[in-house]
Each structure stands twice: as structure tokens, then as C-alpha cells.
Chains A and B, each alone.
Chain A
Amino acid sequence: MSDEQKARRELLARKFIEAIPHARALGMDLTEIGDGKATICMDYDDRFVGDPETGVIHGGAVSALMDTCGGAAVMAHPEAPIGTATLSLRIDYMRPATPGDRITATADCYHVTRSVAFVRATAVDGDPSRPVATATGTFTLERPKS
């Protein structure tokens, strides 16, 4: 694939994320995209807290981040899908995210069939050596009509 094609695909994937109202509401920031991989960050916010006693971010906010990142990875796949939707998403919460830390999710669309994309994702906080959560998901893959 030419550099120009690649740049166009990355722009498309970026636009796809930026057009999602809920991703904007949570302040998600797409920092890396390309070749079936995506990285999205989300800043700490008091409104996203699950338990005020500990100040830990709610699992639901991490789910939203993982889901968006998974979708972005699918859109950035070399097969160049024109759309995607989540079929299933499983999240394992390994430890509470450190309050105040920005959360970074990285997703890898490691396999696609004609109509299904398979994704793995990991979320880390300020200490990238100990992931906060991991996820596996399946997504629909819409191809342009040929």
C-alpha cells in the first residue's frame, strides 16, 4: 500500500473517532493509529469516578475507552472497512486505576474474516508495567460494496 493510501486510511479512522459524541464527552484523545492498531487516552475526571471513597475510575468508563479503541483498531485495519459495530466485549479488571492518572488503551485488530474482526486491548495508567484491564472483543466488519 502506498504512503498516500495509508495516510488517507489513518485520516478516515481519526475522523471516525472524532465524530463519536460519547468519545468526545469522555475527552478521548486518539494518539496513534495504523495497521489495525490504535491508542487512545482518557484523562482522569471526578465525574467518571465509581467509588468516591477511593477515587477510582468506574469500570464503565474503562469499557467505553476499550470499546472505542477496539473500533478504531478495526477501522485502521489494512482491509479498509467502511464501518464497524461491537458484537461482544469481555473486560478483565486486574487492578484499580490509580486516581488522577490518565488511562491509555491500546487495541490490536489481530484477525479479520469477510465480516468479523477480532480484537485484543489493554489499558494502563501511569505505571505501564502493570495493566489496569485487558479486553477481547469481536466486531462487525462492513466492507465497501464491490
Chain B
Amino acid sequence: MSRRPEPVQIVKQRRDATLRKLVECVPYMQYLGIEIDRRGDELTGVLPFDEALIGNPMLPALHGGVTAAFLEVTAIMELSWAMVWEDMEAGLVTDHAPRIRLPKTIDFTVDYLRSGLPRDAYARARVNRSGRRYASVHVEAWQDNRSKLFAQATGHFLMPPRDG
């Protein structure tokens, strides 16, 4: 006889708790006000607009550095999320487990497609290749229309050493 599926609340609680652990790893995310929205295993970075994020007060437009940071953070979260998924589903990510170590950025290339408007921005990343030591991640950001990207980026990351 097959096992009964886990209650939905247990699954949600486990995944949300793990995601919270990941986000809490990065003070700079709190500083910029970046949140991560989760639907199943799909993550979306959310950057609520704030005056302090402005780079060009004349237009006004988001600062290129804010856009770069938003893309980089979303890429790292997606990569870390994929990295911990199996352990998380196996119930190995607990309060007593060792701290999750995040991948480190080797290089990051941002392509600015149009100026970032003074409103909320969203980003989603795709892990193109993730090996034992290195990973390549692509990330896209948009504002009002999903198909009208205002920036995209590709980065290479050094994966944290895995035990065993």
C-alpha cells in the first residue's frame, strides 16, 4: 500500500522555513527590501520601490547598482534553493542543522535593457548548469510586463564544499 501524501500545511511550513533561513543569511537583502515569493519550487525576487533606490533623479530611474544587486541576490537564492531542495524534502534542514553556506559570485554581467521605472520590480533566475564546484545562472528582471525585461544578467558561482 502506498503512503499517504504529507499534509499540505507540513509541506508549506517546511519549505517556507527553509526559504526564510536562506533569506536571513543576507543582511543586504533586508537593506534593499528584497523579498522572495515562492510558488512550489518557483522563486520570484520582489523589489518594492523606495526613493533610496533611485540612481537618476531626473528621469527618475532605479540605480544600476540596485538592479545589479537585485539580479545577483535572486540568482544566489535560486541556486541555493536548488542546492538545498533534496535535503529540505528529506527533512534534513532543521534548526539544529549546520548553517546553510551560500554560493560565492565569481563574475556577474548585467545587461541593462531599459531604465528601471520608479515602481516594484520582479526577477526570476534559471540555473543553466550546476556542477559540484561551479554553476552558471541566468536571471531576468521586469516591472509591469513580464515580456518586457528591463535588465538581465548571467553569473558564475563557486559552490560551497559539500560534506561527504
Contact = CB atoms under 8 A, between A and B. Distances in A.
A68 B107 CA distance: 18
Interface stretch (B68-76, B83-91, B123-131): B68-76
Q: Interface residue tally of chain A, by bracket? A: 35 or more
Prevailing SS type, chain B contact patch: mixed
Interface string B45-82: 00000011111111001011110111011000000000
A21 B27 contact: no
Nearest to A86: B64
Interface residues of B, number: 38
Contacts of B70: 60
B107 A48 contact: no
Contacts of A19: 57
Contact of B63 (A20, A51, A58, A96): A20
Given A19-B57, A51-B26, A91 B66 contact: no
A92 B110 contact: no
Nearest to B112: A86
B28 A61 contact: yes
Contacts of B69: 58-61, 63-64
Contacts of A48: 27-28, 31
Interface string A89-114: 11111001000000000000000000
Interface of B: 25-28, 30-32, 51-58, 61, 63-66, 68-70, 72-73, 99, 101-102, 104-112, 115
Given A48-B28, A60-B68, 18 more contacts: A21-B51, A21-B53, A22-B53, A22-B55, A22-B66, A46-B27, A47-B27, A47-B31, A59-B108, A60-B69, A61-B69, A64-B66, A64-B69, A65-B65, A67-B63, A83-B58, A88-B110, A93-B108
Interface of A: 19-23, 25-26, 46-53, 57-61, 63-68, 71, 83, 85-93, 96
